[in-house]
Structure 1
Amino acid sequence: MVSVDRLSTQSLWALMGLAIRNGEKLGIHRDGTFLGLSPLETEDRRRLWWQLQYFDLILAIRLGITPLTLMADWDVKLPLNIEDDDWTPDMENFKFPEERKGLTSMSYCLFTYYVLDQQRQYHVDKGQFELSWSTNQSVPKHTKEAFIDQLEDGLNRIFLQYCDPIKPLDMLLQLIARALTCVFRQRILLTISEHPGHVDHEHRGLLLAASMQLLEYSVITHSHRLLKDFEWFTTKGFPWPAFMVVLVEASHENDMDKCQRIWSLLSDLYAANTSLLELTEDRRRLHAAELIVAAWKTCQSKGTVGQPSQKPELVTTLESRLAECLNMSAQRLGANDGHKDNTGEATGLETPQNLPVEQDATPLFDLDFQDIDWSFWNSID
């Protein structure tokens, strides 16, 4: 897993194909109980196979595809919820240790395997597994919601009820589990919102609440003192679609109190996740900065954010960062003397739009959900 951010996803995807095919050649895709193997060897093979599937899934999400092995008819059972020292030298050859009740050192791996297994089982009647089930229009809304309820119930029963809130890993597990089910529900609501005729005020309210909740999870994950040592694990997976929903609703909101709560959340989000201010490292950060400035001026022109003197420090900071990017881009383009790279586009930093002025504020953020390129905000660089 440490290589995920050090090698290209394409390279890792190719290597993962070799690893899985070699695993199949060794028969690791079959559960050891069907092959007459010892419990210890069976457990080792289960852990190896499920970790390969999880790693394969991570790479597939980055590439926007579904791994073929998830659709295959393999029968490896989930690893046991046990500690390594539950295996003793005098243990009978064909006797598994009894699973522990509660969390073990394996629980944090089992959590991801369980979520994957539940989705795989849920779609077995269709003969395939697809990562986009929550946004698939052919799957009825009530069917999706029933699965999420079932998944959440299982996570509560098997994992979350045993979490100790003062243990960092337990807290992280709770946050990830809650965010996961919230993401699924938010995606269902967002899919409906992309069709204007199907959206009412109540639906938009539910979508905004789910999106704000996801951003609040992100704030806690990046700011809580107990989770500081796990920043390496929480840097990926920022909820960009939820961020865009909140930003769109901020510009459309006519209630001053609600609008100010939204801007307070956005300020907390950037304060907790300072990497969002590094605009040149991710295109989405740059465009998000532009949209925040535009949305603020739109809200200001409508009078939903109070007096001009109440301008958030976040907006001032982003205006300054955007101006710096604009200057850097101009200098880089001047140094390159207008040369083009092999794609035909000018080299150097992506140039932000001109900063908005007061008289142009009203039409700046005239966007609704169907106008947004969600594939851009869902992309993983």
Structure 2
Amino acid sequence: MALQALAIYVTCLRVHEVGRSVWVLNGLAIRLAQSIGLHRDGASLQLSPFETEMRLRLWWHLCVLDSRAPEDQGFQPTVDVMNRGLRLPLNVNDNQICPDMTRLPEESDGWTEMSFFLIQTESCRLLHPILDTPGQHSADALLDIAAKRKVMEEHGQYLFAKYNTSSGSDLSRIAMQHITTAAKKMKFALQLREEIAMAKRKGAQEDSIPDVLKPSFKLACEGLESNYVLLKEGLASRFKWFFNIYTPWYTLAYVLRCLCSNPCGFGTERAWVLVEELFPRGMSFHSHSAGMHDEYGHSNIWKCLNLLRYKALSARQHAQLSANVEIHPSSSDEHRTSQLLPDTENRPSYRTTATAHGTSTLSESDEEFTADFNQSIFSSLDLSMSEIPFLADWNAVINGYMDDDDHSSLL
């Protein structure tokens, strides 16, 4: 019971704190769980069916929490989330198990109160092999990416069929969106790796395609949009506290990186709206230095993203001031934005400005930003964040190369 309480506390704390203290606390909970054999099947320890099932639920919950460690902290998970030697909890409703039962109930084929958690767990177990990096530097890197895409598609079909997510219940629809969001994240990561592999094959040949016109940018925006649905819209909005755990670090960072080089023009307006909606309201671009002291200042990863946001905002305003021509947004622009962001009550107010590259939307809250637009200001922004041992995909997202690639071969 003490471990259950600790797991609940860590889950809630993780919503508000993305620093290493939560990762350490969850690691402590995992070690305590292992010390009483929670990572083993209770049946082999001669425990009752009820206690066996409850222990499995608790253990896999801790594993799912720990699975965020690679993206959040840059560390490998404390436990093997791929452990095939331990079964997952049963797909049953809570009223199907009780302390005095003598045998486990039959699993349900349809939707139950455990289905969402099981979908979440199986999605985590798929993410690690799909996003794992071995083999991507070999000559068969593109074949490896194609194989992973096939596995991902087949697994998605398996989840929809197994848990009957088309049942029509509220939670099943939220679960379907959760699966869709995870799939978009994996599609983006694989597409980016493919573009890097293709760029390496071209060698020194210059890549003339702007970042914002590449498929990876489109997939990254789709990922942010899918994440936005879970945080803002209708049915899932009451679970915002839970889905805040799944900050789309890679897609958010990649979109910002692309906006740094192409701050205005085709496809950027949608990206800017999504970035501003998903960025913490308490984080100001004025606190771009390492000395941030607001509620997000303890997180180095948010500092890094804020540096990227500061650089992108500077580039955008520099382009807008260069054009120095203002126009009113057309009705079609307003309609398109309203389709993307139906929550008009909380949506920031924007004005559209003509630039040499097209039109760009500027938040009124950004207008007070008056930086020196000399390009030398960018040279002082350390975007590497070397104190965080990010995994290989972070270099792919920020710099356009994998860890052991030639650093001169950028996308």
TM-score normalised over the length of structure 1: 0.67
Name 1:77's counterpart in structure 2. 87
Distance 1:83 1:365, change over 3 A: same
8 Å contact 1:13–1:59 — kept in the other structure?
Answer: yes
| 1:187 matched to 2:189 | yes
| 1:235 matched to 2:252 | no
How far apart in 2 are the matches of 1:318 and 1:144? 41
Give 1 or 2 for the bigger CA radius of gyration.
Answer: 1
Superposition map of 1:272-291 within 5 A: 275=281, 278-279=284-285, 280=287, 281=296, 282-283=302-303, 284-285=305-306, 287-291=308-312
How far apart in 2 are the matches of 1:58 and 1:83? 27
| 1:267 matched to 2:273 | yes
Structure 1: runs of 5 or more not aligned: 124-130, 324-353
Distance 1:250 1:273, change over 3 A: closer
Select 2:62's aligned residue among 52, 55, 61. 52
| 1:104 matched to 2:123 | no
| More deviation, 102-111/15-24 | 15-24
Cα deviation digits, residues 182-202 of structure 1 (max 9, x gap): 212212232354574447659
What secondary structure is seen at the aligned counterpart in 1 of 2:143?
helix
Select 1:322's aligned residue among 339, 351, 369. 369
Shift of the alpha carbon at 1:174?
2.2
RMSD, matched Cα: 4.4
Select 1:115's aligned residue among 118, 123, 129. 123
After TM superposition, the runs of 4+ consecutive aligned structure 1 residues lying more than 6 A away are 71-74, 251-254, 363-366
| 1:21 matched to 2:34 | no
Name 2:315's counterpart in structure 1. 294
How far apart in 2 are the matches of 1:210 and 1:10? 29
Shift of the alpha carbon at 1:321?
4.8
Paired AA for residue 157 in structure 2? N
TM-score normalised over the length of structure 2: 0.62
- Between the two proteins, the alignment pairs up a number of residues equal to 324
8 Å contact 1:135–1:188 — kept in the other structure?
Answer: no
What secondary structure is seen at the aligned counterpart in 2 of 1:29?
coil
Higher helix share: 1
Q: Larger relative contact order (C-alpha < 8 A, sep ≥ 6)?
A: 2
Shift of the alpha carbon at 1:79?
0.6
What secondary structure is seen at the aligned counterpart in 2 of 1:46?
helix
Superposition map of 1:1-381 within 5 A: 1-5=11-15, 9-59=19-69, 61-70=71-80, 75-87=85-97, 93=102, 95-118=103-126, 132-133=132-133, 137=137, 140-159=141-160, 162-163=164-165, 168-194=170-196, 196-198=199-201, 205-246=214-255, 259-267=265-273, 269-271=275-277, 275=281, 278-279=284-285, 280=287, 281=296, 282-283=302-303, 284-285=305-306, 287-295=308-316, 297-298=318-319, 308-309=326-327, 310-311=352-353, 314-317=361-364, 319-323=366-370, 354-356=371-373, 373=384, 374=394
How far apart in 2 are the matches of 1:356 and 1:77? 57
Shift of the alpha carbon at 1:77?
0.6
Structure 2: runs of 5 or more not aligned: 1-10, 288-295, 297-301, 328-351, 354-358, 385-393, 399-411
What secondary structure is seen at the aligned counterpart in 1 of 2:152?
helix
What secondary structure is seen at the aligned counterpart in 1 of 2:75?
coil
How far apart in 2 are the matches of 1:100 and 1:52? 24
How far apart in 2 are the matches of 1:219 and 1:163? 20
Cα deviation digits, residues 32-55 of structure 1 (max 9, x gap): 344444432321221121112122
Paired AA for residue 142 in structure 1? L
Name 2:407's counterpart in structure 1. none
Shift of the alpha carbon at 1:318?
5.2
| More deviation, 184-193/314-323 | 314-323
Paired AA for residue 219 in structure 1? Y
Shift of the alpha carbon at 1:74?
7.3
Name 2:340's counterpart in structure 1. none
Paired AA for residue 155 in structure 2? G
Distance 1:365 1:141, change over 3 A: farther
Shift of the alpha carbon at 1:7?
6.6
How far apart in 2 are the matches of 1:355 and 1:228? 39
Paired AA for residue 37 in structure 2? G
Paired AA for residue 151 in structure 2? Q
Shift of the alpha carbon at 1:145?
3.8
Distance 1:101 1:57, change over 3 A: same
